[in-house]
Amino acid sequence: MESRRNFIGKVATGLAGTLATSNVLGANDRLRIGVIGAGARGTELLREALACPNTECVGVADVYTKRLEAAQAIAPAAKLHLEYRRLLEDASVDAVLIATPHHLHAEQFVSALDSGKHVYQERTMAFTVEQAKRMRAAYQNAGNRAVQIGHQTCSSGLAVDAAAFLKPELMGRITAVRAHFYRNTPHGKPQWARPVYPDMTPDRIAWASFLEGAPVREFDPNRYMNWRLYWDYSGGSITENLSQQLAFWYKLLGLHIPAAATMTGGVYLWKDGREVPDTMHVSLEHPEEILFSWDSGFGNSHLGIAEDVLGTDGTISKGQQIRYTPQKVNRPGANEMIGTARTAPRAHMQNFCEAIRSGKEPNCPFDVGFRVSIACRMAVESYRQQRTVRWDPAREEIV
């Protein structure tokens, strides 16, 4: 088994250089991409990026040497880095895809913008309120850098269809959004629990880099591999799943940060040491007088994943497609309608690449990611403090 020390000797350390004064690329310019976090999601994003026209991967960073080796099979010419800052020092990198545990997002996002890169930031954008504000400051200082937040449905045909139905004459006054996210797994296979492999040793994992910004702990390959189960690194289903459903409607409805959030639930199914709940309910009260209610569980998939926007004159239902159903009490002659817009392959990644070349705002801009991040943090704080929490917009704090 190759040691981390030996592997370090084989990876590139990156080339320091003077940053270009502008990162806007022409339509025919080759877009050179770096990846920070080469796990399952990071490699999926890399494949999507490489399938977009005129792109190449020139660098990959990850704290686990096995993942670097796997990434090189996808991008053989890419330089490999155990330390992401070495990748950011490489002046040949135009844009980075960040797909790391949530507690690492802020530092990597800020460093990437400060080094002159465009950024695709996987969800949820920010882990805490303070990190969100720090990321906002970096974004505001970044000039013409494109930032796409990884809420993919914002680039989907579903978004086109929902926007077409979100008209006052069709919906009337909207007061509520009801959403749910349910999954199930076979007995003995807990949701999110991934196996720990024998090669996950201190020689192969840069543990201190993984912990950056989180509480210091002794090396624990289980916490590394199953980081989604622990509050130090994750908000559980809130940051993984609720964030996606919120982002879609936050963009289309223009919802602000919730005025109040209440979350209940617990670890009802799997007593395997996980800290994040597997069954939960979230209620978000918005200043627009719209109540967003969300249920989620990992022990029954019957209800699946869906949302319903409830208006006095109609309902928009989102599942595999968008469906509009009139409220006959107010629209007696209206008919049901079904959306037909299609989602292009790699639509969200393609939109990011196009935003870099055109300078136009991407489909899921920073502001959507910011509002979703705060809403998710409010839900987590409500659960952990076992009380309703509120947002103070003047101080920008959870109280």
**Cα(76)–Cα(203) distance, integer angstroms:** 23
Share of the chain above pLDDT 90, in %: 92
Instruction: Taking residues 122-132, report their average pLDDT.
Output: 98
**Cα(364)–Cα(361) distance, integer angstroms:** 8
Share of the chain above pLDDT 70, in %: 93
**Cα(135)–Cα(145) distance, integer angstroms:** 13
Q: What angle do CA 348, 350, 355 make, to 5 degrees?
A: 95
Instruction: Taking residues 161-180, report their average pLDDT.
Output: 98
Contact 273, 394 (CB under 8 A): no
pLDDT of 25 reads: 64
**Cα(82)–Cα(61) distance, integer angstroms:** 6
pLDDT of residue 18 exceeding 70, the answer is no
**Cα(145)–Cα(122) distance, integer angstroms:** 16
pLDDT of 34 reads: 98
**Cα(89)–Cα(386) distance, integer angstroms:** 44
**Cα(243)–Cα(376) distance, integer angstroms:** 7
Strands (E), the chain: 31-36, 55-61, 79-81, 95-98, 118-121, 147-149, 174-182, 260-266, 279-285, 291-297, 305-311, 314-318, 322-326, 337-338, 389-392, 397-398
**Cα(334)–Cα(171) distance, integer angstroms:** 11
Domains of the chain: 4-150 (3.40.50.720), 155-197+228-343+365-398 (3.30.360.10)
> Residues 6 or more apart from 359 whose CB is under 8 A from it?
24, 144, 146
Q: How far, in Å, are 128, 174, 297 from residue 325 at the CA level?
A: 38, 14, 27
Instruction: Taking residues 322-349, report their average pLDDT.
Output: 97
- Residue owning tokens 């080339």: 15
**Cα(284)–Cα(375) distance, integer angstroms:** 8
pLDDT, tens digit (0-9, with 9 covering 90-100), for 21-65: 345 566 558 999 999 999 999 999 999 999 999 999 999 999 999
- Identify which has the larger pLDDT, 3 or 204: 204
Contact 88, 72 (CB under 8 A): no
> Residues 6 or more apart from 218 whose CB is under 8 A from it?
none
pLDDT of 23 reads: 52
Query: In sequence order, what are the beta bridge partners of 318?
Result: 307, 322
pLDDT of 29 reads: 84
pLDDT of 22 reads: 47
Helix, coil or strand: residue 331: coil
**Average model confidence (pLDDT) for the chain?**
93
**Cα(252)–Cα(236) distance, integer angstroms:** 25
pLDDT, tens digit (0-9, with 9 covering 90-100), for 228-248: 999 999 999 999 999 999 999
- Pick from 305, 299, 334, 302: which is nearest to 318 by CA? 305
pLDDT of 27 reads: 55
